[in-house]
Structure 1
Amino acid sequence: MGRILIAEDEQRIASFVEKGLRANGFATTVVADGDAALAHAVSGGFDLMVLDLGLPRRDGFAVLQSMRQAKVTTPVIILTARDSVGDTVAGLEGGADDYMTKPFRFEELLARVRLRLKSADRGPEVTVLRHGDVSLDLRTRRAQTPDRTVDLTAREFALLELFLRHPGQVLSREQILSHVWGYDFDPGSNVVDVYVRTLRRKIGPDRIETVRGMGYRVD
């Protein structure tokens, strides 16, 4: 089980990330300012750090710089609202291992966390997800059925990836909204139903099952 430090001063986002990571088996600690983030990071008790740049007391760039000067090699994923090329370059050149901008999809953050934590002796990276006669190539973002190759939009890809990573599991609309559309979703929206219909047209109507009153599953 990986130990992850979350340095984020916006409570709603910190709680969203923490709950998602814990649900996927990680141990988490949340801090809300740069001084606390640096103190925890240099303690050596963490396998990875999710770092916001806009922290009070000491911003994320300063935290990262101090960590690397102190020879702390913990992988760092920057998660920030700053989306300029200059900030991205500064973060990566300053020692960050990855850079994500808000708003974000939790499934993408989770994938990046797992990638950074993957040990050298673990098996090769999975690039194709399969269930039944449907496969999804994570590199080309194309789905494959016995009779066709399907190009997907970004949301369709994220939705199918979520289903194939949880085969047979009933996923509620709220879970799907949270994972595919991110932390800032409208629970009353019917966008999930719209995208499920679109995905069914592309990969076949019988491959995504409606579980009445509960949600959807690939089975």
Structure 2
Amino acid sequence: MTGLNILYVEDDARLAEDVAQLMAAEGHRLSWTASGEDGLKRAGAQAFDVVILDRMLPDLSGIDIVQRLRAAGIASPVLMLSALGRPENRTAGLDAGVDDYMAKPFEPSELVARIRALHRRAAGQAHSAVILFGDLECHVKARTAHRQGRHIPLSPKEFALFRYFMDNAGEVVTREMLLRHVWNLSFDPQTNVIDVNVGRLRRKLEDGFNAPVLETIWGTGYRLVAA
């Protein structure tokens, strides 16, 4: 993936500088503004690969910006980066048209990973008939999984989980991301439902094969790796 063209709307100049340096280190180009109105104008005048929005801006809220972008037909993927990280805040952002929501403070590596994942999905890679990663295949329309050409029988929920891991292959997937995108929950039900389902999927993908493909990142989540 070549460097992305990113718009960042954030009134904290120090944080904006940190994020700009982080994106530059990844080969991305970041355009920053502290004004919500200016950010809205820039997003309307130029196509950005990803838009990062603060939620609380002095002149126009991030929620207002994303609603006006969507109303104008601007489909650039939007990541909201906000100090408001409660479940109801996240839900409001997602309902307004935000594609992903991260609370401050955040891990720089996770921000980078989420931006890459947003761009992949927006570029249509996740909607191919077949998604390939290492020796794994995800047949989207047939809703089937294969490894080294061998069919791996999965339940509907296991396939949804597998599809999400394939969409984000090589990136750390947090429990929060799985709850939101696979279980459609905006809160943690405080059960082991994720661990149980990931465990079942891991066994099915790895039993009878030499190399593991689904690793646990302790304290964070999981990552699909190429065998």
TM-score by length of 2: 0.57
Paired letter, 2:17 = S
What is the deviation of 1:44? 2.9
**Superposed CA offset, 1:75-124 (max 9, x none):** 00000000122211111010000000000001101111001111324864
Q: After TM superposition, list the pairs within 5 Å mapping 1:151-190 onto structure 2.
A: 153-154=218-219
RMSD: 3.3
CA contact (8 A) 2:172 2:217 kept: no
Are residues 53 and 127 of structure 1, via their aligned partners in 2, closer, same or farther at CA, if it must alter by over 3 Å? Answer: closer
Q: 1:89 aligns with which of 73, 88, 91?
A: 91
Aligned to 1:2: 4
Alignment of 1:1-219 (within 5 A): 1-118=3-120, 119-121=123-125, 124=132, 125=166, 153-154=218-219
What amino acid maps onto 1:6 in structure 2? Y
String of CA shifts for 1:42-70, please: whole Å, max 9, x gaps. Answer: 11331110000011111111111111111
Q: Which amino acid is the alignment partner of residue 218 of structure 2? A: T
The one-letter code of the counterpart of 2:84 is R
Structure 2 SS opposite 1:154: coil
Identity %: 30
Deviations along 1:2-46, whole A, 9 cap, x unmatched?
Answer: 100011111111111111111101111001011111011111331
The offset of 1:128, in angstroms, is 6.7
Q: How many residues align?
A: 151
Q: Counterpart of 2:159?
A: none
Deviation at 1:137, TM superposition (A): 8.2
C-alpha deviations, 1:165-211, integer Å up to 9, x for none?
xxxxxxxxxxxxxxxxxxxxxxxxxxxxxxxxxxxxxxxxxxxxxxx
For the residues of structure 1 that align with 2:99 and 2:5, how far apart are their CA atoms? 17
One-letter code aligned to 2:219:
A
Evaluate the alpha carbon distance shift between residue 28 and residue 128 of structure 1 in structure 2; reply closer, same or farther with a 3 A threshold.
closer
CA contact (8 A) 2:51 2:79 kept: yes
**Alignment match, 2:137:** none
Distance 2:173 2:90 in 1: 24
Contact kept, 8 Å, 2:55 with 2:82, in 1: the verdict is: yes
Q: Per the alignment, in what secondary structure is the counterpart of residue 114 of structure 2?
A: helix
